[in-house]
């Protein structure tokens, strides 16, 4: 099946007979770049438009609970969407896994990070960037890695906490931190190699980052919101997700 056939099939599955609409989307920072690419195909096929806000999953929960008008949440975990359903803020049965996240230890300096992550134990750095573990699943995963390596306490004074994984990336990219834990997807942007050096952290060192999307109650009657969630399950969307280094959504339950 060629790309044109895939696009036509996805269009048939997601196009709405109603007038094209806009959908308010809250997306976890690690998935901002993939969503931007996915949105192009989605809009071309359906006519629907996305209005996107990028941030930390935990903070989005706070905002949605406070009445923020988001219609779709594309989270960095599976706990927050499930919690929103339980709290009556999201539509029952709409929650699903769209990607499995992967964690990486990255430095903007070539050759700085070795293939086993031994640079952490060597301690020849002043700052290690991590996303806020209270708000960002990738931040929680980073702390799990440090605990697994017995480095949580020794390296605690060197941690630089960012609000989101995007800010953690910026700390490293600008040299404010010699290295940091980021999402692998941030290093695999098509046509924009991150450079430097990185260690793909073995999944055994942290809990699975199962990233879920959910239809929020504010979007329950918006055809564009339902269409976007349906589009995330199509082959064109899955192809983009795979290019950015995520685990295949087919592995999700």
Is residue 220 helix, strand or coil?
coil
| Strands 179-183 and 128-131, sheet pairing | parallel
pLDDT band for position 7 (50/70/90)?
very low
Give Cα separations from 107 to 104, 115, 165 (angstroms): 10, 12, 14
Alpha-carbon dihedral 31, 37, 40, 43, rounded to 10 degrees: -20
Give Cα separations from 244 to 33, 172, 212, 223 (angstroms): 9, 19, 16, 28
pLDDT in tens, 204-252: 999 999 999 999 999 999 999 999 999 999 999 999 999 999 997 654 4
| Strands 197-200 and 72-74, sheet pairing | unpaired
pLDDT band for position 6 (50/70/90)?
very low
Domain at 3-100+208-251, CATH from 3.40.190.10, 3.30.300.30, 3.40.50.2000, 1.10.15.40: 3.40.190.10
* Per-residue model confidence (pLDDT) at position 2: 39
pLDDT in tens, 21-73: 999 999 999 999 999 999 999 999 999 999 999 999 999 999 999 999 999 99
Q: What is the CA radius of gyration of the chain?
A: 19
* Per-residue model confidence (pLDDT) at position 216: 98
* Per-residue model confidence (pLDDT) at position 252: 43
- Report the distance separating Cα 156 and Cα 166, nearest Å: 21
Share of the chain above pLDDT 70, in %: 91
* Per-residue model confidence (pLDDT) at position 249: 62
Mean pLDDT of 97-116: 96
Same fold across 3-100+208-251 and 103-200: yes
* DSSP classification of residue 22: E
* Per-residue model confidence (pLDDT) at position 191: 75
- What pTM was estimated for this model as a whole? 0.86
* Per-residue model confidence (pLDDT) at position 251: 45
Where along the chain do its domains lie?
3-100+208-251, 103-200
Mean pLDDT of 169-193: 93
* Per-residue model confidence (pLDDT) at position 3: 39
- Of residues 193 and 49, the one with the higher pLDDT is 49
**Sheet containing 197-200: which strands, arranged edge to edge?**
159-162, 128-131, 179-183, 103-107, 197-200
Residue 202: Cβ within 10 Å count: 12
CATH of domain 103-200: 3.40.190.10
Share of the chain above pLDDT 90, in %: 87
Q: Give the 3-state DSSP-derived string for 144-195, with helices as H, strands as E and coil as C.
A: HHHHHCCCHHHHHHHEEEECCHHHHHHHHHCCCCCEEEEEHHHHCCCCCCCC
Transcribe 88-133 into DSSP letters: TSB-TT--EEEEEE-EEEEESSTTSS-TT-THHHH---S-EEEE-T
Mean pLDDT of 176-204: 92
* Per-residue model confidence (pLDDT) at position 5: 35
């Amino acid at each position: 099946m060629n790309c044109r056939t895939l696009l036509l099939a996805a269009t048939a599955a997601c196009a709405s007979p109603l007038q094209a609409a806009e959908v308010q989307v809250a997306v976890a920072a690690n998935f901002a770049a993939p969503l931007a690419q996915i949105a192009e195909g989605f809009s071309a096929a359906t006519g629907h438009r996305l209005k996107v806000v990028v941030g930390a999953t935990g903070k989005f929960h706070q905002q949605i609970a406070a009445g923020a008008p988001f219609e779709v949440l594309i989270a960095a975990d599976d706990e927050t969407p499930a919690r929103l359903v339980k709290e009556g803020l999201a539509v029952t049965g709409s929650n699903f896994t769209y990607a499995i996240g992967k964690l990486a230890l990255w430095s903007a300096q070539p050759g700085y990070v070795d293939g086993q992550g031994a640079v952490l134990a060597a301690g020849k750095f002043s700052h290690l960037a991590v996303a806020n573990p209270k708000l960002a699943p990738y931040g929680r995963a980073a702390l799990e890695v440090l605990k697994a390596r017995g480095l949580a306490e020794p390296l605690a004074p060197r941690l630089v906490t960012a609000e989101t994984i995007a800010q953690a990336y910026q700390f490293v990219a600008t040299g404010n931190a010699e290295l940091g834990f980021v999402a692998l997807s941030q290093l695999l942007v098509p046509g924009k190699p991150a450079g430097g050096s990185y260690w793909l952290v073995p999944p055994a060192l942290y809990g699975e980052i199962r990233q879920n999307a959910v239809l929020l109650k504010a979007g329950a009657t918006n055809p564009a919101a339902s269409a976007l969630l349906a589009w995330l399950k199509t082959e064109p969307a899955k192809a983009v997700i795979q290019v950015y280094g995520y685990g295949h959504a087919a592995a999700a339950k």
